[in-house]
Amino acid sequence: MSTTTTSRRTSPWERPLASYQLVLGSSALLLGLGLIMVLSASSIFARLNYGNSFAIVERQLIFAVIGLFGAYVAAHVPLHVLRKMILPFLIISILLILATFIPGVGIEVHGNRNWLPLVGGFRLQPSEFAKLALVLWMADLYARRRKQLDTPRLILTPMVPVAGAVAMLVVFQHDLGTALVLFALIVGMLWVAGLPGRQMGAMLAGLFVLLVFAVATSPERVSRLLNFTNPEADPDFKGFQAIHGMMALARGGFWGVGLGGSRQKWGSLPEAHTDFILAVIGEELGLLGTLVVLALFVFLAIGGMRIATRTRDPFVHYAAAGITMWIVIQAVINIGMVLGLLPVIGIPLPLISYGGSSLLVTLVAMGILINCAKTEPGAKRALAAGRANRGRARVLQRR
């Protein structure tokens, strides 16, 4: 009996910092792998377009450094201070999205008008910031109404009108991938808040109608959807990217052809270092490499949901659940797209794909998730004990 009790006490899953370490470790490994693969996947493209094989990864490194600083701040700022910043952050994000529609200000890339120019040739994607702003705003709203969430009206309003309006703005930017993540996030947060089944069914039906409308009003999206079922029907145009992504995965086999050995990144695979970077991972690192990526996202999801279920802070409960759902939903859409299980809609793989705005916001979100992990029972005491032990070890070393 005592042996069983001791084993339970010493189980890694029962430690106060288990969730903290899962989130920190998995996100750090994904970031490191992402930087390596961005360098590998973009080197040829960067050499041909910028005369420097490191041009793309250097930009990614800049945003990674800024993002890590933001993550550090987000991991240490008191949560009550963070909550005071949420509404201004959401308003600024919406204003920046609206600015993309101003002629001469917004920049259109690949048919999506969702960029704003920055200095030095850098660009900002406001819709990425809106993801985090909406998650935190919804978490704060539901935390303040936690005793009233047995009333469906207070779950739906004003969350659905505000979040739905932001998602529709993104649809009007022609960025269906980001809009799809926002719609899924709305449904996920309604589920976490406990919306009854009848109202949830009505919401799902309404969102389905909106998505059908968004697809039907764009000939490009209609052709992508139709081509999804049979990309070989148009192998030189609509099905080109999907086919070459599958070719990369097939060539990699289980062990891969080796880091840097991809053929598809030499121009055959569009967006090799952005939306389709998983195909390059599959070609160079094989099925083993892709399984490692999947495992890291699973560990991140487990850590995030542990925080959401173990915390006693209502805001942390909703914020951790929302951030975790956002990252997992986006990863699932990207992976499904590369594997041919979903239509090609263009969306980055979190922490891995090239994209400054996406990387910056995701790292800050990871910092907030780490901050949330400190609210688990015993977590702060364990962190303080760890710091004290390290301090004593340094003192002993000096002696």
Pairing of strands 123-124, 112-117: antiparallel
Give the whole-angstrom CA distance, residue 171 versus residue 348. 17
pLDDT at 10: 54
- How big is the CA angle at 256 (ends 254 and 260), to the nearest 5 degrees? 165
Q: Angle of helix 126-144 relative to helix 176-193, nearest 10 degrees?
A: 10
* Tens-level pLDDT at each residue, the chain (399 residues): 444 444 445 577 778 889 999 999 999 999 999 999 999 999 999 999 999 999 999 999 999 999 999 999 999 999 999 999 999 999 999 999 999 999 989 998 877 888 999 887 789 999 999 999 999 999 999 999 999 999 999 999 999 999 999 999 999 998 889 999 999 999 999 999 999 999 999 999 988 888 888 777 777 777 777 778 778 877 777 788 889 999 999 999 999 999 999 999 998 898 899 999 999 999 999 999 999 999 999 999 999 999 999 999 999 999 999 999 999 999 999 999 999 898 888 899 999 999 999 999 999 999 999 999 999 988 888 888 877 777 777 777 776
Say how far residue 137 (Cα) sits from the centre of its chain: 17
What does residue 174 show for φ and ψ, rounded to 5 degrees? 70, 25
pLDDT at 91: 97
pLDDT at 9: 54
pLDDT at 181: 95
The stretches of the chain forming alpha helices (DSSP H) are 2-9, 18-50, 55-76, 79-99, 126-144, 152-156, 159-172, 176-193, 197-216, 219-228, 240-252, 277-310, 314-338, 356-373, 379-398
pLDDT at 154: 94
